[in-house]
Amino acid sequence: MIDQARQKATLDALTQALGSAGIDTSALTLARYARPGVAPTGVALPADEAQLAKVLEAARNGGGVMQTVCNGTHGLEKAVQDKVIILDLQKMNKVLEVNEQLATCLVEPGVTFRQLDTHIKEKGIKLWVDFPGNPDASVAASFINRTPGYTPYSDHFLMQCGLEVMLADGKVVRTGMGAMPKSTCWQLFKFGYGPWVDGLFTQSDFGVVTKVGMWMMPQPPAHRTFMVSVPDEGDLGALMDVLGPLKLNMVVANGVAVSNALHEAALLGKRRENYQGKGPMAASAVKTAGEALGLGYWNLYGALYGLPENVPILWDAVKGAFSSISGAKVVVDGKGIDPRLWNWRTGTMTGVVAEPPGRTTGWGGDNALTVNPVSPVDGEEAMRLYELSRDICAKNDFDFIGETTAIWRSANHRQLLAYESGQTDAAARARTCAEALIAGQAEAGFGQILTEPGFGAAVAKTFEKGGRSTLHSRVKQALDPNSIFASV
């Protein structure tokens, strides 16, 4: 329970330190960070590191509890505790450097993918921006939350190189080669000398990220995007079995998206009420919904990259592999697919930062909870996770809406529970379903890689207590002894 008197004292100190422009307590603003039953008490908006240091000093002196978010638009940037003070870094939004020759960038935490893309285009730089689907999400947040994109650089945690953080005591620390004065390789060699600590500041409450370096993808000489659709619910297994070796051998190098028909319908702005019947949609209805849009029950989006003479060779192998699935349709020209969906999907794999045609939350309302399990890129395991999740969703009166991004050897799943935020019972039902999914998936061996605010405790229960949790507690005590950063 957060002490409200201490929060008020901290807010008063913040107002003195930052002025009225640096503090926002309006109901409209607080609602942006609220979730059912939980709302912040104020928002601090430092414009630079000097102001950030003043914010942390005020929190230390006043006993306040703060929660850091990068720009207030990322889907997971909601209050984790009631009455917390949100520390929003959206004003710290400078693109500090983009090095075309070495294909790196250095940005402040408020920089969005749209802003980075605009900067690159204005400068005529031939680099691609990999983004997770929301142009207004923070580049730094994608590393902090470990959310993937869709190009070969989709693993944003792996592509991060060089970090600057401000600790609870106001000390600024640069990691990797950035810790060496006059270093020429801060964004080039991840590890520096000694223990590598960058990962401690992802999905954690140990400090505030103030700068993040990322590797970027040079525009390849040639590429080819494609979609593979399969007609039936049970075809997911075959689709993943073909994809697995192609990912393992880096033939299809991008973050491959595999989504069900309802996910793509929602991306096109379709809503649940467009379809007849009550209760969760039967497999036959999902199949029909996909067919009406020129899609399959499951739809895979991949891309090949390389030299002009090499891409056709890769394509022959990939096309032949997916064509072995009975009923599979392989598309390269978008024919028969809504051009809004085709252009956006192929754009995400080729460095085009753009708004999706629609928001998946619109399928069942204006909001959604997400559950994010991980599985092998394996047909049997993917079907086992899908059937378990589908049944839990149906039991709680939700359609299964899901997208999987295959990266390296894992399939990172994102399952949506769309609901109307103005309906208290709908929000409660979504929470119950999310908790059931987290518990049921863990029992079956599928752990969460990311979680919504407010579900951290539920996810933590699925991991063993002992060594890892003890280590985290010791690091927290060492870096933030006064607990000014809210637990995630």
Q: Per-residue pLDDT tens for 326-373?
A: 999 999 999 999 999 999 999 999 999 999 999 999 999 999 999 999
Q: Is the pLDDT of residue 286 over 60?
A: yes
Q: Where are the alpha helices (DSSP H) in 195-292?
A: 236-248, 261-267, 283-292
Q: Is the pLDDT of residue 276 over 80?
A: no
Q: Are 417 and 433 in contact (CB under 8 A)?
A: yes
Q: Is the pLDDT of residue 441 over 60?
A: yes
Q: Give the pLDDT mean for 393-403.
A: 97
Given pLDDT bands bounded at 50, 70 and 90, which one contains residue 1?
confident
**Fold of the CATH domain 223-454:** Vanillyl-alcohol Oxidase; Chain A, domain 3 (3.40.462)
**Which listed CATH number (3.40.50.300, 3.30.420.40, 3.40.50.1950, 3.30.43.10) goes with 4-88?**
3.30.43.10
pLDDT number for residue 279 = 87
Q: Give the pLDDT mean for 212-235.
A: 98
Q: Which two tokens stand for residue 358?
A: 């629609």
pLDDT number for residue 386 = 98
Q: Give the pLDDT mean for 135-144.
A: 96
In 3D space, the residue among 153, 155, 138, 161 whose CA is nearest the CA of residue 217 turns out to be 153
Q: State pLDDT tens for residues 14-29.
A: 999 999 899 999 999 9
pLDDT number for residue 74 = 54
- Domain residue spans in the chain? 4-88, 95-218, 223-454
Q: Is the pLDDT of residue 123 over 90?
A: yes
Other Cβ atoms closer than 10 A to 454: 19
The reported pTM is: 0.95
- Rounded Cα gap, residues 252 and 371, in angstroms: 26
pLDDT number for residue 487 = 84
Q: Give the pLDDT mean for 478-486.
A: 96
Under CATH, to which class is 95-218 assigned? Answer: alpha beta
Give the list of residues 6+ apart from residue 301 with CB closer than 8 angstroms, or none.
Answer: 150, 225, 226, 227, 256, 257, 258, 345, 346, 348, 349
Instruction: Compute the mean pLDDT over every residue in the chain, rounded to the nearest whole number.
Output: 95
pLDDT number for residue 73 = 63
Q: Give the pLDDT mean for 402-421.
A: 96
Q: Is the pLDDT of residue 76 over 70?
A: no
Given pLDDT bands bounded at 50, 70 and 90, which one contains residue 275?
confident
Q: Are 129 and 65 in contact (CB under 8 A)?
A: no
